[in-house]
Amino acid sequence: MNNLNERGHSRRKWINRIMLGLSGTATAITILILALILGYTLVRGISYVNLNMLTQAAKPMGQTGGGMRNEIFGTLILVLLGSVIALPIGLLSGIFLAEFASPKVAATIRFTADILAGVPSIVVGVFVYAIMVMPMHSYSALSAGVALAIIMVPVVARTAEESLRLVPTSMREAALALGITRWRAVIGVVIPGAMTGIVTGIMLGVARIAGETAPLLFTALGSQFGVQGLSKPIGSLSLMIYHYALSPYPADQQKAWAGAFLLVLLVLVISIVVRWVSNRKHV
């Protein structure tokens, strides 16, 4: 220790301690916030949760009781619809980027995908409204599915591309050296080798669109009735939470919490599974 400069040294030590303490505090704050949000959702939502919630249709606004069966179905259907549209586009784009594109072309397209990923979801909703809802003169599940698909495509494309790139060249060459065509090598060897990453990418995309509300506002519109068909409006858990949250009736607010509980549960489960799967791969 430098005795000549002890006062300066202890001041530095103090600054060190304070700053490091602050950084730990910052982390604690973040974790605390998450705990608060999840905690409140859990506590306020779980008291309402029972079997009725899953099996009954909703009652009119303001009344107690009733379930959210149609909204749950709605979320599932919209996610399915969005995935069915997004997967071919996203996966094939990812394959193109990883296997066939020249470096310059790949960089441009990757850039485009990143831009698409950064478009605010409400802007996507407005776009789909303009190209589908207006000409069709009707809100529809299909247009909502398209909006969700637009949000999901870049997520799937980028994770698929990165997973495919991680497959070692030696595997590709070993496959080609057997005398099989390029496309069979990609489908039979390279894609299976990247499957974990591709699947986690899809799951991340699903978790993302399951919780989306803004793009549904002017495409699906929301509906208290059951699923009426692809060309009719449809409800979803996220839309339901939004409408009930803004309702003045406590009974509705209670249902909003219950719906939030379900939705958060879904998203959390998917996130945990994704994490578990990717950790398993790296071990």
C-alpha to C-alpha distance for 216 and 236, rounded to whole angstroms? 9
Bridge partners of residue 66, in order along the sequence: 58
The interface with other proteins within residues 216-275 (CB under 8 A) comprises: 217-218, 221, 238, 241-242, 245-246, 253, 256-257, 260, 263-264, 267-268, 271, 275
The nearer residue to other proteins, 50 or 182, going by C-beta atoms, is 182
The answer to whether 202 and 87 are in contact (CB under 8 A) is yes
The interface with other proteins within residues 113-152 (CB under 8 A) comprises: 113-116, 118-124, 126-127, 129-131, 150
Q: Which residue from 144, 153, 265, 147 is spatially nearest to 201, judged by alpha carbons?
A: 153
Which among 48-56, 61-69, 110-118, 226-234 is the span making contact with other proteins, rule CB under 8 A?
110-118
Q: How far is CA 84 from its chain centroid?
A: 15
The nearer residue to other proteins, 62 or 88, going by C-beta atoms, is 88
93 part of the interface to other proteins, by CB under 8 A: yes
11 part of the interface to other proteins, by CB under 8 A: no
User: Rounded to the nearest 5°, which phi and psi values hold at 143?
Assistant: -65, -35
80 part of the interface to other proteins, by CB under 8 A: no
Tell me the closest approach of the beta carbon of residue 73 to other proteins, in angstroms. 18
CB neighbours of residue 225 within 10 Å: 12
Residue window 184-213: x/- pattern of binding to other proteins, with contact defined by CB under 8 A: xxx-xx--xx-x-----------x--xxxx
81 part of the interface to other proteins, by CB under 8 A: no
Tell me the closest approach of the beta carbon of residue 231 to other proteins, in angstroms. 18
The interface with other proteins within residues 55-74 (CB under 8 A) comprises: none
The interface with other proteins within residues 149-188 (CB under 8 A) comprises: 150, 153-154, 157, 168, 170-171, 173-186, 188
Q: Using the CB atoms, write b or e for 144-183: b if 16+ within 10 Å.
A: bbbbbbbbbbbbbbbbbbbbbeebeeeebeebeeeeeeee
Burial of residue 276 (CB within 10 Å: 0-12, 13-18, 19+) is: exposed
Which among 48-56, 59-67, 104-112, 223-231 is the span making contact with other proteins, rule CB under 8 A?
104-112
Tell me the closest approach of the beta carbon of residue 163 to other proteins, in angstroms. 13
The nearer residue to other proteins, 60 or 179, going by C-beta atoms, is 179
Which among 37-45, 52-60, 61-69, 227-235 is the span making contact with other proteins, rule CB under 8 A?
37-45
C-alpha to C-alpha distance for 116 and 151, rounded to whole angstroms? 8
The interface with other proteins within residues 17-36 (CB under 8 A) comprises: 19-20, 22-27, 29-31, 33-34, 36
99 part of the interface to other proteins, by CB under 8 A: yes
Tell me the closest approach of the beta carbon of residue 51 to other proteins, in angstroms. 23
8 part of the interface to other proteins, by CB under 8 A: no
